[in-house]
Chain A
Amino acid sequence: MSVILKTEKLHVAFTSREFRQSTKIALKSLDLEVNTGEVFGFLGPNGAGKTTTINVLLGFVPPTSGMASLFGIDVRQPIARQRIGYLPEMTYYYKFLTAEELLRFYAKIFGLSRTEADSRIDRLLKLVELESARKRPIKSYSKGMQQRVGLAQALINDPDLLILDEPTSGLDPLGRMKVREIIQRLKNEGKTVFFSSHELGEVETVCDRVAIVHQGELKAAGRVSDLIAQHHANLEKAFLDIVGYPSPSAS
């Protein structure tokens, strides 16, 4: 199994422009490794540094020190992003475009031929169940539909690695189930999925391994079953133990 995503002693600090504001450390010496074909859950409370890690991996934020690579290529090189798909937490796609036009636009960026783009657009719209709405402008879509069109755009280049930032955030139970099904299907196809989430039940269901970060530091990493066994509880309790909150049953 080869390493597809790697961070080594990754450190990110944000310097505030406000007078007398101290530097905020978002990530402290983070070491992560994600292997080919696994579904990797990236967990942590709000402000733990999950989104910052994803921002570094995608080249939005430069690391202060340390390194991050995708497929062995430094994330600062745009070519590192050729084989990845990314779904941001909540995005409002170009509302004047239809789903079909949006996917065609992203297909053009990847240099797909017309016929290849057509077949992928058909397949993806079917996968995310937006076939009937493909000609409608995105501005008329519900939140769940927008998230599904987002998932389709993340898959347009048939990526080997999918990075999902809280993919089920703001979705109703049906929408969550659909996204979970898609992740499961991608896993069966041998894709690597790296996703951050607050939904621990969901993570427990679909993830092979997880990493838990808190205040910018890696607190735990390993197989879900191992973490559960180690803490003699479910993932939620294990998570609360690791981040240092008293679990509800203890209080």
Chain B
Amino acid sequence: MNTILALSGVVIKEMYRRKDFYVLFVLTALITIAAGAVNFFHDPKIVRYVKDICMLLIWVSALLVAIVTTARQIPAERESRTIFPLLAKPVTRWQVIVGKFLGCWLATGLALLVFYVFFAIITGSREQHWPWLTYLQALWLQWVMIAVVIALSLCVSIFSAAPSSTTTICFITVAGILMVGGHLNTVALRQSQPLQNIFYTIYFLIPHLEWFDIRDRVVYDWGLVDWLDCLLASVYAAVYAGLFLLLAWLGFRRKSLNT
């Protein structure tokens, strides 16, 4: 466990010493504050639009931080050759994969926490209403969804040629799942064979990341998701994250490293 924690510590240090997160946070804050400062048509419910914009920015920023940070981990280790002194120590390749995953997940979690605190302050100051538990649930579900995204990115980074291609592949996949993943079964119904089977297979194979998106509940104050559903969603995310990590390890284990 010492090794895994040491590896994840380096990833966290890297994130807070790089400028990616700060740029995204400042951009989110500026856009949200600018949106919150204007009051269209004296609508008392205008704060909902601010919440909506801010939540969307938080989702995009968290995905950016997670994918970009993860995509460069293993390729950067190989490019700068730090993987060699690392693996020359009693460190297994599985520990490298898990350490990198944990580091990226914790680092993105910290970034998410900062974003949500900002969101709570901005919306609370306008609404005089602080639904902490809803925020906590939204933060948790987004964070466990991010675990799947990070494991996927780590897995793709083992097989792809460069961090830029990993980032592109992962963004397209995640955006695709979030936007159309939940509708694939409906699309399948309208298709003839063999397309129907293909759509159904994809529908049942992909991790349904859209299930973790409870932005509307936060924006429209629809209340809490059942805690049991929350737990089941967390287990579902853990299974997918585990599968992607296993695939990443299988790929990395077979990789011949030549200095």
Residues of chain A whose beta carbon lies under 8 Å from any beta carbon of chain B: 14, 51-52, 54-55, 58-62, 78-79, 81-82, 84, 86-97, 101, 105-106, 108-111, 150, 153-154, 157, 163, 165
Contact = CB atoms under 8 A, between A and B. Distances in A.
Nearest to B257: A60
Contacts of A111: 2
Nearest to A137: B17
Nearest to B14: A96
A119 B92 CA distance: 27
Given A81-B88, A82-B90, A96-B13, A51 B81 contact: no
Given A62-B256, A91-B82, A92-B80, A105 B91 contact: no
A216 B13 CA distance: 42
14 contacts: A60-B256, A79-B90, A86-B85, A86-B88, A89-B259, A91-B82, A93-B80, A94-B10, A96-B18, A105-B9, A106-B85, A106-B89, A108-B5, A150-B85
A51 B259 contact: yes
Contacts of A79: 90
Contacts of A52: 258
Contacts of B14: 94, 96
Contacts of A84: 88
Interface string B1-26: 01101100110011001100000000
B204 interface: no
A181 B9 CA distance: 34
Contacts of B2: 108-109, 111
A155 to B, nearest CB: 12
A110 B80 contact: no
Contacts of B179: none
Contacts of A14: 256
A16 to B, nearest CB: 12
A110 B87 contact: no
B84 interface: yes
A137 to B, nearest CB: 8
Given A91-B81, A109-B6, 11 more contacts: A51-B258, A58-B87, A60-B84, A88-B84, A88-B85, A89-B259, A94-B14, A94-B80, A105-B6, A108-B9, A150-B85
B91 A60 contact: no
A65 to B, nearest CB: 16
Interface string B59-103: 000000000000000000000111011111111100000000000
Contacts of A109: 2-3, 6, 86, 89-91
A84 B3 CA distance: 17
Nearest to A153: B85
A157 B259 CA distance: 22
A87 B90 CA distance: 15
B88 A61 contact: no
A95 B17 CA distance: 10
A106 B87 CA distance: 11
Given A96-B14, A108-B6, A109-B6, A88 B91 contact: no
Contact of A90 (B6, B9, B18, B81): B81
Nearest to A101: B13
Contacts of B89: 81, 86, 106, 109-110, 157
Contact of A91 (B10, B80, B91, B257): B80
Interface string B181-225: 000000000000000000000000000000000000000000000
Contacts of B5: 108
Contacts of B88: 58-59, 81, 84, 86, 88, 163
Contact of B257 (A55, A86, A105): A55
Nearest to A83: B90
A186 B258 CA distance: 28
A60 B87 CA distance: 8
B9 to A, nearest CB: 7
Among A61, A91, A97, A150, the one with the most B-chain Cβ atoms within 10 Å of its Cβ is: A91
Among B3, B17, B259, the one with the most A-chain Cβ atoms within 10 Å of its Cβ is: B259
A61 B256 CA distance: 6
Given A81-B89, A89-B259, A153-B85, A97 B80 contact: no
Contacts of A163: 88
Contact of B82 (A58, A78, A86, A93): A93
B97 to A, nearest CB: 14
Contacts of B17: 96
A86 B84 contact: yes
